[in-house]
Amino acid sequence: MRRGEVVLETRSLSMHFGGVRAVDRVDFQLWENELRCLIGPNGAGKSTFFKCLTGQLVPTIGDVVIRDIHVAGREPHEVAGLGVGIKTQVPNVFDGLTTRENIWLSCRRWHGARRTDALTSETIERLQLGEFRSRQVGSLSHGQRQWVELGMVVAAQPWLVLLDEPAAGMTHEETDRTAELIREINEDAAMIVVEHDMNFIRRISKKVTLFHEGRILMEGTMDAISKDRRARDVYLGHRA
């Protein structure tokens, strides 16, 4: 693993909903160019943790630091404005607009009109979305819409990418392409990927962080985690 500097860090990050501690004093570090997967059973706090990173939730206690900037309590657009590409769990796209315009809007946030046109075409080609270029995104299949959203993330050329379940609801073939794309994105950007699909994680990740009951249970390679007894107990939901 390349160890540059820490690009994203949380310091005793906690998110409470009433009496429920969805995220409980999490210290987490992501290094430059790293690709980290967050796993854990349902309700482990991955998605809440993710939303704290992206500014969609304001943590109860603790801080999120992205490249020395404190972002806890900032608006999502401020987090994204640091050059962070974000994809949420459900496909969050502009349903009434065309594929091209979805990607164009993402690009245009960062570039002038001419550069945007070029980058948009390039992204559409790279993600093989040419067929749906002029189709309304709302009329596309679930997997295709996921891809449009990935296209929006890629088009902005972020240096840090946060993906929440990028392969959810995709067909086998689409999942393969997504894994491929994630590896490509990782060449230029540090990444955090929240995922359920173990096989998918095995194919993309080097290091995995396992969440359980709002805390980090363990970190390590997928192999190490899958051999670990505690991890298996967590997933099977019993203490054998």
Partner 1 sequence: MNGMFGQFRGTLFAALLALIFTIAAPSILEFFTIITLTQVIGLSILALSLALIWGYGGILCFGQTAFFGLGAYSYAIAAVNIGGSTGAMFIAVAVAAAFAAVLGYFAFYGKISDVYLAVITLTVSLIMYSLIRRTSGPEYKIGDALLGGFNGTGAPPLNVPGNAGAVLFPEHTFYVAMVALILLYVFCGWLVNTHFGRVCVSIRENEIRAELLGYDTRAYKLGIFTVGAAVAAIGGIFFCIGVTRVTPDVFSLGQASLTIIWVIVGGRGTLAGPVLAAFGLYYLTASLGTQQVVNTSLVLGIILIAFVLLAPRGVVPGIEKLATARRAGRRNRAKERRMRLRKPRGGISEDRHETG
Q: How far is the CB of 140 from partner 1 (least distance, A)?
A: 14
Phi, psi of 163 (to 5 degrees): -120, 130
Q: Which of 5, 18, 113, 239 binds partner 1 (CB under 8 A)?
A: 113
Taking a C-beta distance cutoff of 8 angstroms, is the pair 201, 222 a contact? yes
Q: Residue type at 48?
A: T
Report the site for partner 1 in 133-192 (rule: CB under 8 A). Answer: 134, 152, 156
Vertex 104 angle, CA 48 and 143, to 5°: 55
Taking a C-beta distance cutoff of 8 angstroms, is the pair 235, 64 a contact? no
Phi, psi of 143 (to 5 degrees): -65, -40
Q: Give the separation between CA 93 and CA 145, rounded to whole angstroms.
A: 7
Q: How far is the CB of 46 from partner 1 (least distance, A)?
A: 18
Which one of the spans 13-21, 35-43, 72-80, 212-220 is the region binding partner 1 (CB under 8 A)? 72-80
Residue 92 within binding range of partner 1, rule CB under 8 A: yes
Q: Which of 21, 36, 108, 145 binds partner 1 (CB under 8 A)?
A: 108
The two three-digit tokens of residue 8, written as one number:
């994203």
Q: How far is the CB of 106 from partner 1 (least distance, A)?
A: 5
Taking a C-beta distance cutoff of 8 angstroms, is the pair 77, 126 a contact? no
Q: How far is the CB of 17 from partner 1 (least distance, A)?
A: 19
Q: How far is the CB of 221 from partner 1 (least distance, A)?
A: 30
Chain residues in the site for partner 1 (CB under 8 A): 54, 56, 75-77, 80-81, 86, 88, 92-98, 100-101, 104-106, 108-110, 113, 117, 134, 152, 156
